[in-house]
Amino acid sequence: MRTLVVLLKRMGTRTVTDDTLFDSQNAAYAQAMFEEYARNPDSVPAEWRTLFQNGGALAIAEGLIAPDQLATGRPATSPAPSSLRTSDGRGPATSPSPPASPKAPVEPEAPSAPQLDPDESTPPTSSDSTAAGAPAPSPSSSAADSLRRVLPAVSRATALVQAFRDHGHRLARIDPLGSEPPGHPQLSPAFYGTSMDELRQIPASFVFDHSEEDQSVADALTELGDIYTGSIGYEFEHLDDHLKVDWLWDKVESGAHRPPLSSDEKRTLLRRISETEGFEQFLHRAYLGQKRFSIEGTDTLVPMLDLLIEDAATAGANEVVIGMAHRGRLNVLTHTIGIPYGELLAEFEGPSLKGGQLNVAGTGDVKYHHGAKGSRTINGIGEITVTLAPNPSHLEFVNPVVLGMARSRQFGSVSKESQPNPHAVVPVLIHGDAAFAAEGVVAETLNMARLPAYHVGGTIHIIVNNQVGFTTDPADGRSTFYSSDLAKGYGIPIVHVNADDAEACIAAVRLAMAFRTHFGDDFLIDLVGYRRHGHNEADEPAYTQPLKYAEIEAHPTVQEIYSTQLIEEGTVTDEQVAALRDECAQRLRDAQDHVREYDPVDDSATDEFREVPIVPESTGVALDRLETINSATVNIPEGFTPHPKLWRQLGRRASVFSPNKAIDWGHAETLAIGSLLMEGIPVRLTGQDVQRGTFSHRHIVLHDVENGHVFVPLRQVADARLEVYNSPLTETATIGFEYGYSVGADTDVVIWEAQFGDFVNVAQVIIDQFLSSGLTKWGQYSRLTLLLPHGHEGQGPEHSSARLERFLQLCAEDNMRVTYPTTPAQYFHLLRRQALRRPERPMIVMAPKSLLRHPSATSTIDELAAGGFQHVLPDPTVADPGEITRLVLCSGKIYYDFQAHDRREEASHAAVGRVELLYPFPGAALKELMDLYPKLTEVVWAQEEPRNMGALTYIGPRLRALVPRKVPLSYAARPEQASPAEGKASKHLVAQNAVLLEALGLDGETEE
Ligand SMILES: Cc1ncc(C[n+]2csc(CCOP(=O)(O)OP(=O)(O)O)c2C)c(N)n1
Ligand SMILES: [Mg+2]
């Protein structure tokens, strides 16, 4: 055990640069002001008077001493220029302390030790603060004098104790490779103008709440030194919630998270470490050079997860959901989830033996990306499910997905009162040190932790910190000192733990889980180790980190370190350690011997079930039911006052509710969501400003103009949970979260809406790696719906395109649905169909902007009451199909531009058909449409997007295959462009007009 003295020696060589001493300095000044105020309130500035009024409760709460508790007759202290101490409640501030420069050089002269007996009656010396000519001291003033001499010393001691709590982690021995901790200037007594000699004379009880009699501050600091500067570094000083900080200090300093392990527990820990290491060493020998992303160097992750799962179960969890990247994943798959060795070894033997839970339909994925589900039985508690989410190579992007999965499973039922139970599912995110510090999705996800829409009751983050990212050193990979520093901004407690100290690693988990259970908030463990091999096992790390790898080669494994420790303690013998190693190796050899007989569990039956189509014949909703929903949305409770302008707008929904009246987009959406809720289907709608709707068309949540209360009318008819949340200004993490949520909740309607469709490309990784390919890679089902406002409306290159072409390019093997509805009724049926049909698939909707209020883009209630979503819509303006020779096919908003064009009648031989479902390609419906027009001589695909964008390159070849050979097929579109749309509205009109005329086969002016 190292003592404080050792630490101090180390500190002695450092230059003091930190100036966070203000608190203790200001306290001295504040106390003087307090006393001055007591004598004459008018003599202190107004802001001080505020602090001291009403008996000075505020000041006393800040740690000052009421003047009447000190002797009277103290001379005025000459005020030093200083500012009011901040009221963060953490500073020592128990007394005045002598002025000292915050940037004092190292080792200032230590003051002489104060007399600490409060009863001592020695008169103060002339060097004491009593000014010449002051009244003679009374008995009470001698006690005050004594206090006055003691308190500065106590103040100095308190500041030092505080410094240990705040900065002690910078002396912790967290690097297994033995690098020197950086230290911190404030950890020297000299920094505060005190000395060990002085600290030995102050009873610990003056500074600590709980301390032993006879203990001095010096003794207590020695203990603190051991706590704060051992194998765990504790970083809590950045938390803004002081209840949490106090709780953490209490736990850490009382050692509650580090109960001594029993011999059995130690042997179990050794066994787990031996299994973890044995597995990697076996694979290393048996499959030399094959990638496995070994965990060696941070092996303790596996027993850490054991305890985490056990603690989660004890706190009432039925599931732990883990997200992690490649590093150590195979070890976690087998030892944490329980995938048999045989199944993993089969993966190494060759693809032909893929099987069991790893055998998903489609392309599948490499072995270190697979997800899996297992269960653990915890003694005395029962079973707990442990899920490892599949993840792509894209580091950290699985984070929001895992949180979404966790939240969806935290709901116990679909009932409308159902609230997520954060104790039921514990999310765990395992990060890489390079990726955590540098991938933006990490910050996006951390920011969600305390938002009601995304709250999961705390995520346990573990950085598997091997101090390197591929070949990049931390110095080139981040601007922060610790890899974990980002988490500080989110007020997350952080512990750094040396991965070679197995028992300390366990303690870190115990603290993390106790914190989550108590506060329902995130906690981060920075597991500091090393990487024994290259980035993967085919890499030569010495090319780039030669010195470090020479050191690592000579460094004992954690199994060696811990077994040596247990042998020395007498917990195990040499022979037992050797037997344990042999046993681990033998189990793996046995599994390998039988790998070719390995009979994987076939779970494909489940997938087949999920693929059995359920297609509702009609998605219409009976009129009386629609009426009930409508009334609910226009009836507000007594005493609730919505905004009058808004209420006039929404109030119209009551008057238009009759069979032939036109209803708009927002109205149809409300009725669709209401109908699903009435049928007991939960709906979750999130995105930026979705409660109102970017275009002010939704107003699903009302605000009382008098008191700000909110009211959600649809809840009055709901028979299921309705979650409607405005999201943070984030796309990647929010779509990732909703994707995960939809994977976890297969019945719920989960909708994410973009502010404008353009912004979906911020989340391109989630679209590419999860939404479009999760099913084929991992068998992951989702019915997430993305509403992406799209359309060329003269608003510039941005705000025009949801990049339809990108979604269509990703479509294959029936992986998702891409739609572009043009009427409220079509949208109504589409939403309902998405909720009611199987197989589940993600759905992309090119959503309207101007069509939200377009007088022609309306539907009737009758259209909602019957029928369903039409893949293709014929031209309703065509009176005689026999006259039609030209068929213009288009999708979306441009349809209305055609019908409203002032030369539309000149092209009476042309019909404009709408392709409302783009993928899966509606070949049959298009064929039917073409058959309507027997005299067809030409077909044109028309789109407002440039030729290199929109649906053209997707739909062109498909139409060509469908349109009769003798009928020419042409395209009308903006020319190929690097940017989707014109920056000027006038240019937009010209370009749009050119497309329309070309499609209708009319010559025309195209100038500006
Ligand atoms: C988004 C993304 N960019 C780049 C890569 C390539 N890559 C794979 S592993 C790796 C290094 C990761 O370092 P770290 O996060 O420290 O994890 P470690 O491999 O050390 O466990 C990189 C750059 C990737 N997988 N994902
Ligand atoms: Mg790393």
Query: pLDDT, tens digit, for every residue of 168-204?
Result: 999 999 999 999 999 999 999 999 999 999 999 998 9
Q: How many CA atoms lie within 13 A of 294 on its CB side?
A: 27
Q: Residue 666 to residues 518, 673, 707, 726: CA-CA distances in angstroms?
A: 43, 11, 26, 17
CA-nearest residue, atom 1 of ligand 1: 394
CB-ligand 1 contact for 469 (6 Å cutoff): yes
Nearest in space to 192 (alpha carbons), one of 156, 220, 158 = 156
Predicted local distance difference test score (pLDDT) of residue 141: 62
User: What confidence tier does 51 reach under pLDDT thresholds 50, 70, 90?
Assistant: confident
Alpha carbon of 419 to ligand 1 centroid (Å):
37
Residue 1003's pLDDT is: 87
Alpha helix (H) residue ranges in 493-622: 502-519, 546-554, 558-569, 574-593, 604-611
CB count in 10 Å sphere of residue 41: 12
Cβ–ligand 1 distance for 393 under 6 Å, the answer yes
Q: Note the pLDDT tens digit of each residue in 563-603.
A: 999 999 999 999 999 999 999 999 999 999 988 776 665 55
| pLDDT at site 554 | 96
Q: For ligand 1, is residue 386 a contact (CB within 6 Å)? A: no
Tokens describing residue 276: 């973890």
3-class DSSP state of 484 = helix
- Residue 67: per-residue pLDDT: 76
- CA of residue 543 to ligand 1 center, whole Å: 18
Report whether pLDDT(360) > 60: no
Ligand 1 centroid from CA 470, angstroms: 6
Confidence band for 670, pLDDT divided at 50, 70 and 90: very high
Q: What is the mean pLDDT of residues 774-801?
A: 94
Q: How far is the CA of 474 from the centre of ligand 2 (A)?
A: 9
pTM as predicted: 0.86
366 lines ligand 1 (CB under 6 A): no
Distance 730 CA to ligand 1 centre (A): 23
Burial grade of 300 (CB within 10 A; 0-12, 13-18, 19 or more): buried
Starting from the edge strand earliest in sequence, which strands make up the sheet with 683-687, in order?
722-726, 683-687, 749-753, 784-789, 843-847, 817-819, 917-919
User: Among 324, 461, 470, 486, which is best to mutate for testing ligand 1, by the most ligand atoms less than 8 A from CB?
Assistant: 470
Report whether residue 642 contacts ligand 1, using a CB cutoff of 6 Å.
no
3-class DSSP string for 382-432: EEEEEEECCCCCCCCCHHHHHHHHHHHHCECCCCCCCCECCCCEEEEEEEE
Q: Is the dihedral of CA 626, 628, 629, 632 positive or negative?
A: positive
The whole-number average pLDDT for the span 655-683 is 94
Nearest CA to ligand 1 atom 7: 470
pLDDT of amino acid 31: 67
The residue among 917, 931, 779 whose CA lies nearest residue 845 is 917
**Based on C-alpha coordinates, what's the Rg of the chain?**
35
Nearest CA to ligand 1 atom 9: 470
On average, the pLDDT of the chain sits at 87
For residue 483, give the ligand 1 atom closest to its CA: 16
Quickly state the pLDDT bin for 38 (edges 50, 70, 90).
confident
Contact between residue 386 and residue 313 where contact means Cβ atoms under 8 Å apart: no
Question: 480 C-alpha to center of ligand 2: Å?
Answer: 15
804 in contact with ligand 1, CB cutoff 6 A: no
Look at the block and give the residue holding tokens 């004491």.
128
The model's pLDDT over 267-283, given as tens digits with 9 standing for 90+, comes to 999 999 999 999 999 99
Does ligand 1 lie within 6 Å of residue 434's CB atom? yes
pLDDT at 45: 67
Distance CA 531, CA 463 (A): 13
Residue 111 has pLDDT above 90, yes or no: no
Report whether residue 291 contacts ligand 1, using a CB cutoff of 6 Å. no
- Would you tell me how many other CB atoms lie within 10 Å of the CB of residue 109? 8
- What per-residue confidence (pLDDT) applies to 332? 96
> Is there an atom of ligand 1 within 6 Å of 327 CB?
yes
* 428-444 mean pLDDT: 98
**709-722: per-residue pLDDT in tens?**
999 999 999 999 99
Q: 441: Cβ below 6 Å to ligand 1?
A: no
* 3-class state of residue 223 by DSSP: helix
pLDDT at 62 (0 to 100): 67
pLDDT-derived band at 96 (thresholds 50, 70, 90) equals very low
**What per-residue confidence (pLDDT) applies to 290?**
85
d(CA 347, CA 64): 68
Two tokens at 634? 């226009």
Cα-to-centroid distance, 928 and ligand 2 (Å)? 58
pLDDT at site 94: 30
Please work out whether the CB of residue 398 comes within 6 Å of at least one atom of ligand 1. Answer: no
Q: Is 297 in the pocket of ligand 1 (CB under 6 A)?
A: no
Ligand 1 atom with the smallest distance to the CA of 531 is 20
Q: How does DSSP classify residue 607?
A: H
Any atom of ligand 1 within 6 Å of the Cβ of 432: yes
Q: In sequence order, which residues have a C-beta less than 8 Å from that of residue 183 and are 6 or more positions away?
A: 10, 11, 14, 170, 171
Please write the tens of the pLDDT for every residue from 530-562. Answer: 999 999 888 899 999 999 999 999 999 999 999
- Please tell me the distance between residue 820's alpha carbon and the centre of ligand 2 in angstroms: 44
The atom of ligand 1 lying closest to the CA of 393 is: 25
Ligand 1 pocket check for 470: Cβ under 6 Å:
yes
> 779 near 717, Cβ under 8 Å?
no
Other Cβ atoms within 10 Å of 981 Cβ, number: 26
Q: What is the pLDDT of residue 69?
A: 66
In this structure, the residue with its CA closest to atom 22 of ligand 1 is 470
Residues 409 and 384: their CA atoms lie apart, in Å, by: 13
Categorize the per-residue pLDDT at 48 as very low, low, confident or very high, splitting at 50, 70 and 90. low
Q: Would you say residue 895 has pLDDT above 50?
A: yes
Is 10's pLDDT higher than 50?
A: no
Report the alpha-carbon distance of residue 671 to residue 723 in Å, rounded.
16
Whole-number Å distance, alpha carbon 464 to ligand 2 midpoint, is 7
> Is any ligand 1 atom within 6 A of the Cβ of residue 395?
yes
pLDDT of 753 above 90: yes
Q: Please state, in angstroms and rounded to a whole number, the distance separating the CA atoms of residues 786 and 754.
A: 8
What percent helix, strand, coil does the chain show, rounded to 5? Answer: 45, 10, 45
Residue 468 near ligand 1, beta carbon < 6 Å: yes
Ligand 1 atom with the shortest distance to the CA of 765: 1
